[in-house]
Amino acid sequence: MKYVIVIPDGCADDPQVSLGGKTPLQAAKKPAMDSAAKLGQVGLSNNVPATLTPASDVATLSLFGYDPLEVYTGRAPLETVAMGIKLNPGDWAIRCNLVNIVDGVMKDFTADHITNDDGRDLIGTLQEKLGGEIKSPSGKVLGVLEFHPGVSYRNILVYRAKEPAPFGKDTKGQPPHDIPDKSVESFLPSGPGSDLLKDLMKKSEALFLEHKVNKKRIAEGHKPATQCWLWGMGVSPTLRKFADIHNVKGAIISAVDLVRGVGMLLGWNRIDVPTATGYLDTDYAAKGRYAIEAIKNHDLVCVHIEAPDEASHEGRVDAKIEALEQIDRHIVGPLMNVLPNYKDWRILVSPDHRTPVQTRAHSHGAVPYVIAGTGIVANGQTAYDEVSAASTSILHAKGHDLMKVFLK
């Protein structure tokens, strides 16, 4: 059996006035996804428990069949896996966004989609000025701070613990993409160890104010990165390998370290597409080609596309529709053409979580999925979208149960 999972990140949405009451999924021209709906099962899956923050870290674990209430320890530790950063027992990883805040308001959680080179220079400054040993008043070394550059605005801070770290389960940080155009004051880190995090964030403001990178960016007409934003903290998780549970050999294709990291923790092979960007300008066709090639040597291939989520965060309905149509044309369509060449096959198309365009933030709630292929009985739907899924009686209240259905 050959299995393919396609994740159009954050594609689930609400009806839009500008679309005559349709959702972006309903408005998009997506013949391949609709064909899968006619062939297979359409339903709803709730990937984010009510007690956890709706985000790709929690939702992706759930979508892959793992109960986040049991295994989730934080977002940043998942990303460190893809970045090749080893966490020792007691170490904490913390997501370090480069953001644009003006007059205390979160204007851009990507710092205008800062380039890798510019981001690396700024993170290098943080490491030079703020990294290194943290000592007690008596001079005892409590820990070591390491700032690691990632992709664009997505970076990592590691707290190497020499003594028990000041953080705990009650240490909270707010995802900056969930507070667009809002005052950041009430969303600053809180709980144990938060004073350290807020101090680092405050110091980064001064370091970035006259930084050469920001001067260059402003001269080029780009928004500057005004500071770092710390959130998503946690320790290294322990996950059973996917193959040990299901006897299925997998591969992950994504331009986002978070999703790459989750796949790698599951024991899947990481396949990078050089022209994939993790943004609206990603190379959809290349992702489709790489997936078709990967399925030859793997039992399961997962293709994750960040673009619909990015469009929602920018409040751009047109861009979200375009991303969905590109995914259908260049990824789902070609896969649907190739998979029947194998004796037995199945495809699952599902977002991880909801990201409504109007709020520009992730939200709780069930998302639509479609499963088609060998042994899947059609349940009478003619389209893949939120309305079609809601019209069925199928709801996986615990999203991690869906994987059992897919692989059964």
Report pLDDT digits (tens) over 124-160.
Answer: 999 999 999 999 999 999 999 999 999 999 999 999 9
Q: 347: pLDDT confidence band, cut at 50, 70 and 90? A: very high
> What value does the mean pLDDT take over residues 197-205?
98
**Looking at the domain 2-72+238-407, which fold is it?**
Alkaline Phosphatase, subunit A (3.40.720)
> What value does the mean pLDDT take over residues 323-331?
98
Q: Tell me the C-alpha distance between 406 and 408, whole Å.
A: 6
Sequential DSSP letters for 262-326: HHHHTTPEEE--TT--SSTT--HHHHHHHHHHHTTT-SEEEEEE-HHHHHHHTT-HHHHHHHHHH
Locus of tokens 């899956």: 45
Give the whole-number percent of the chain exceeding pLDDT 70.
Answer: 100
Q: What is each CA distance from 179 to 175, 233, 354, in whole angstroms?
A: 7, 18, 15
Residue 206, pLDDT score: 97
E-only strand ranges, 165-241: 227-234
Residue 144, pLDDT score: 98
> What value does the mean pLDDT take over residues 92-110?
97
Q: What is each CA distance from 223 to 33, 117, 123, 217, in whole angstroms?
A: 37, 15, 17, 7
Residue 376, pLDDT score: 97
Sequential DSSP letters for 14-25: --BGGGTTB-HH
The least confident of 62-66, 168-172, 321-325 is: 168-172
Q: Tell me the C-alpha distance between 381 and 324, whole Å.
A: 19
Q: What is each CA distance from 357 to 46, 281, 353, in whole angstroms?
A: 19, 18, 13
> What value does the mean pLDDT take over residues 165-173?
95
Residue 395, pLDDT score: 97
Residue 122, pLDDT score: 98
Report pLDDT digits (tens) over 260-303.
Answer: 999 999 999 999 999 999 999 999 999 999 999 999 999 999 99
Residue 245, pLDDT score: 97
Residues 157-175, buried b or exposed e (16+ Cβ, 10 A)? bbbbbeeebbbeeebebbb
Q: 243: pLDDT confidence band, cut at 50, 70 and 90? A: very high
> What value does the mean pLDDT take over residues 100-114?
97
Residue 80, pLDDT score: 95
C-beta separation of 367 from 375 below 8 A: no
Q: Which residues are paired to 200 by β-bridges?
A: none
What are the residue boundaries of the structural domains of the chain, listed by start? 2-72+238-407, 83-234
Residue 248 CB neighbours (<10 A): 14
